[in-house]
Amino acid sequence: MIPRYSRPDMVAIWSPEAKFRIWYEIEAHACDAQAELGVIPKEDAAEVWKAADATFDVARIDEIEAVTKHDVIAFLTHLAEIIGSDAARFVHQGMTSSDVLDTTFNVQLVRAADILLDDMDALLSALKRRAMEHKDTIRIGRSHGIHAEPTTMGLTFARFYAEMERNRNRLEKARFEVATGAISGAVGTFANIDPAVEAHVCKKMGLRPEPISTQVIPRDRHAMFFATLGVVASSIENIAIEIRHMQRTEVLEAEEFFSKGQKGSSAMPHKRNPVLTENLTGLARLVRMSVVPAMENVALWHERDISHSSVERSIGPDATVTLDFALSRLTGVVDKLVIYPDTMIANMNKFRGLVHSQRVLLALTQKGVSRETAYTLVQRNAMKVWEEGRDFMEELKADAEVTAVMTPAEIEEKFDIGYHTKHVDTIFARVFGSS
- Residue numbers 233-272 binding a second copy by CB under 8 A: 233-235, 237-238, 240-242, 244-245, 247-251, 259, 261-263, 265-272
Among 66, 67, 68, 52, which residue's Cα sits nearest to residue 20? 52
Least distance (Å) between residue 94 CB and a second copy: 6
Least distance (Å) between residue 243 CB and a second copy: 10
Residues of span 270-309 touching a second copy by CB under 8 A: 270-275, 278-279, 281-286, 288-293, 295-309
| 7 interacts with a second copy by CB under 8 A | no
Least distance (Å) between residue 187 CB and a second copy: 3
Query: For residues 352-380, b (16+ Cβ closer than 10 Å) or e, as one string?
Result: ebbbbbebbbebbeeeebeeeebeebbee
Neighbours of 402 (CB within 10 A): 23
Residues in contact with 162: Cβ distance below 8 Å, sequence separation at least 6, in sequence order: 431
234 is catalytic: no
Least distance (Å) between residue 175 CB and a second copy: 14
Give the three-state DSSP class for 141.
strand
Among 375, 399, 405, 415, binds a second copy (CB under 8 A): 375
| 49 interacts with a second copy by CB under 8 A | no
Chain-centre distance for alpha carbon 17: 27
Kindly tell me which of 55 and 307 has the beta carbon lying closer to a second copy.
307
Among 37, 257, 350, 425, binds a second copy (CB under 8 A): 350
Least distance (Å) between residue 288 CB and a second copy: 6
CA distance readout (Å), 255 to 1, 21, 101, 275, 322:
28, 44, 46, 10, 23
Neighbours of 141 (CB within 10 A): 15
265 is catalytic: yes
Residues of span 73-132 touching a second copy by CB under 8 A: 73, 76, 89, 92-97
Among 435, 348, 420, 364, which residue's Cα sits nearest to residue 396? 364
- Of the residues 15, 85, 265, 307, only one is catalytic, namely 265
| 175 interacts with a second copy by CB under 8 A | no
Neighbours of 172 (CB within 10 A): 15
Neighbours of 52 (CB within 10 A): 10
| 188 interacts with a second copy by CB under 8 A | yes
The set of catalytic residues is: 144, 265
